[in-house]
Amino acid sequence: IAMSYEVLARKYRPMNFEEVIGQDHVVKALVNSIDSEKIHQAFIFSGTRGVGKTTIARILAKCMNCESDTKPTSQPCNKCSNTVEISAGRSLDFLEIDAASNTQVEKMRDLIETIEYKPSKGRFKVYLIDEAHMLSTASFNALLKTLEEPPPHVVFILATTNPEKIPKTVQSRCLQLNLKTVNDDILFNHLKNILDKEKIKSDDISVSLIANSAQGSVRDALTLLDQAIAHGNGELNSDDVQKLLGTIDNSLLISMLNAVIEGDGDAAFTYLLQIEELSPEYEAIIKSIISVLHKASLEQVLKNSDDADIKDLASKIDAEFCQLLYEISVNAYSKFNVHPNAKEAIEICLLRMLAFNPLRKIDNNKSPSELEKKNLKNETQSVTKAPDFKKVDGMKSVNLEADAIKETINISINSNEEWIKIFNSLDISPFARNYFGYLSFKSFESNLLILESNEEEINIPENVFAEFKTVCIPILGDKLSIEVQLGKGSISPINKQNEIESEKQLKAEESVSSDPSIQNFLKKFDANIKDGSIKPAE
């Protein structure tokens, strides 16, 4: 009994150039050469698996032998006997040879002997050698002369996933067309069209997961779609597809990364445990982390994400720290295959992320099982609300409300000099110092500290702002609020420090240039002082 079901990859194999997706550059070159009757004698179609090498070769063979026109046509009818036989794989004028099982030179010589015979029905004999790079050196040598000067009724097509293994002498005799991997958007639309034709219920998340997992291969996408339909009993839903593909819910990954940003080791490892319960491949976890960090990095610069979770992550994390986490992840992935234990590789990656947290909200002396959850609530400080960015009278401001603490502190700041002294005494991370060190003091009244920036865009990450606020509370009081406004006020702490350093440097250089003994020494030996070598005394 013959099986009636036809797999999607075969059922929806393109029958003409118009149905080919993602290979416009190759299709255009072939269509133009056919329409202008300038068809090359030998082609190399190269590209990864499942992108259309064999399919395009068959379409080209149908174009050469279609009976709907008196000459080759770029639009085969798929109705005449020649095109139907080629599609069915039983044409005598279209010979498809598997190089992997015909590597011997004797097989190639037998093939060459048939070349001189005229086509049985069509205009051309088309030879498709699949996985051509598997041929032996002797086989390639036997084919060289025929490739260079084939009979006018013969066209050779070499399909390969590894064109570098084809000898240069063969490549120079062929027109090489490189097929690209198909991007996710094109695959997504292709799968949606097929599901609509098959009248299969689905959701966009499921289709997107399949398109992403196919990694640019149309055949892989259709095979995965077949599997997902069978797994879901005739329909697709995201939970079933995630289990089938071993993919991870991005919300768990983002929650884990948020815990890393906050320096919360306990929470980070708790989320990792939840991810492991989904039974994904450990390698897939690292790849997913890399993907999330990549999207967050792009969002910080291009503002191009439609995902609310990615937007939130990008706003919380400092750009430099994001790049650091990305490098840690990529480094872990590059060494993943040589690590003796896949789970340990993930855990070490997570520990490195926590250890290199510049906000220093993790106790590095504790092991993963002892990491205590940090909520910034202790004897002197507490922050329970994330900063809220908003416009105030045309200026950007940020406000943070803090919980009450045991002791109320009253302090006044009456000048920029006083603020600079306080700022320089703060024990804050390099990131917080870099952001707030360039803001100048405006006022401090009724528990409201107003700082000014001369830049219109004030993009301070939430966790950096929270850290700065937390460190200031013990000094400025429990009801402290902070606003950052646009303005041109006093000199900032960092600029003041730069001025002091410049004055010290100038005095040091003047001291050296006015010292008679040093000048006499330089004159005696006809020497000079190297630029940048004079340093002020500590």
Q: Name which of 50-59, 318-327, 406-415 the model is least confident about.
A: 406-415
Tell me: pLDDT of 303 over 70.
Answer: yes
* pLDDT tens string 153-178: 999 999 999 999 999 999 999 999 99
Q: What is the pTM of this model?
A: 0.61
pLDDT confidence bin for 457, thresholds 50/70/90: low
Higher pLDDT, 366 or 86: 86
Residue 253, CA distances (Å) to 219, 293, 348, 386 in order: 29, 10, 16, 20
Tell me: pLDDT of 404 over 80.
Answer: no
Tell me: pLDDT of 57 over 70.
Answer: yes
pLDDT confidence bin for 360, thresholds 50/70/90: low
Please tell me the distance from the alpha carbon of residue 238 to that of residue 249, in angstroms, as a whole number: 10
* pLDDT value, residue 87: 92
Residue 306, CA distances (Å) to 211, 255, 298, 312, 492 in order: 18, 18, 12, 11, 37
Number of alpha helices (DSSP H) and beta strands (DSSP E) in the chain? 22, 10
297 touches 395 (CB < 8 A): no
**Which of 179, 190, 238 minimizes the C-alpha distance to 214?**
190
Mean pLDDT over all residues of the chain? 83
Residue 121, classed as helix, strand or coil, is coil
**Which of 240, 242, 239 minimizes the C-alpha distance to 229?**
240
In the chain, pLDDT over 70 holds for what percent of residues? 88
* pLDDT tens string 86-106: 999 899 999 998 888 877 788
* pLDDT tens string 461-520: 888 888 898 889 888 888 889 988 888 767 888 888 888 888 888 888 888 778 787 777
* pLDDT value, residue 463: 81
pLDDT confidence bin for 145, thresholds 50/70/90: confident
